[in-house]
Amino acid sequence: MNRKFVVATNNAHKVEEFKKILGPLGIECVSLKELRIECEAEETGATFGENAYIKARAVYELCKLPTVADDSGICVDALDGAPGIYSARYGGEGYDDAGRMELLLKNMERQQNRAAHFTSAICCVLDENTVLQTEGYVYGQLTREPRGTNGFGYDPIFLPDGYGKTTAEMEGEAKNAISHRGNALRELAKKLKEYYHADANQ
Ligand code: ITT
């Protein structure tokens, strides 16, 4: 596959992960910044999938180029799945990544059940009528204190099952190999291959 996609995100960490995960699969990713496109779509959806669609569609309408977006977050069992789709806005205005992480740890202080997972919904708008969507997950436990400086968001407090390191203590490649976003994007690459193959045979 040799294709080019616009990545509809304003999060530079996501752009880097998209490039590292999809590059070797033959999909070149171009960021909004590289294209000088400004777009802050309002995330009014009720699910990760709906929000990913809103973001991908908004950028597609601006540039009419194949566009891919991610909506993601951390879902904590003991908090009935919160912060979930509100992960980037947890606690409201005035918090940065570190502040949101501290708030989550504080809200989990008395909880013995530390189970949590990340979800990534990927939406790819190929043309006016063609939309591909996938989801990926990684399951694990919340730590009691932040550990590590790699990655972003809640990575320093997430210990994936079967690993002794938080995703912020892992190298980027190791995180991408098991992450929600890695899993969802690899699934997308499979769907794209099928789609282009079917299209070529029509
Ligand atoms: P865009 O909407 O522009 O893509 P965003 O950061 O606002 O950027 P989301 O609305 O999808 O993206 O929010 C996702 C939040 O979930 C993100 O800001 C982190 O707090 C958290 N998150 C998602 N994936 C993560 C990851 O791989 N590691 C750590 N935290 C993650």
| Cβ(118) – ligand 1 distance below 6 Å | yes
Rounded to an integer, what distance in angstroms lies between the CA atom of residue 180 and that of residue 171? 15
Res 1: pLDDT? 73
Res 159: pLDDT? 98
Q: Which DSSP category does 83 fall into?
A: B
Mean pLDDT computed over 159-188 = 98
Give the bridge partners for 140, in sequence order. Answer: 116, 160
Q: What percent of the chain has pLDDT over 70?
A: 100
Predicted TM-score (pTM) of the model is 0.97
Instruction: Return the CA Rg of the chain.
Output: 17
The yes-or-no answer on residue 71 being catalytic is yes
Per-residue pLDDT at 166 exceeds 90: yes
- 88 C-alpha vs ligand 1 centroid, how far in Å? 6
Res 31: pLDDT? 98
- 112 C-alpha vs ligand 1 centroid, how far in Å? 25
User: Pairing mode, if any, of strands 3-7 and 67-76?
Assistant: parallel
58-99 confidence digits (pLDDT tens): 999 999 999 999 999 999 999 999 999 999 999 999 999 999
**Domains contained in the chain, number:** 1
Res 202: pLDDT? 67
Domain around 97: 3-200
3-state secondary structure of 192: helix
Residue 76's domain is classified under what CATH number? 3.90.950.10
Per-residue pLDDT at 45 exceeds 80: yes
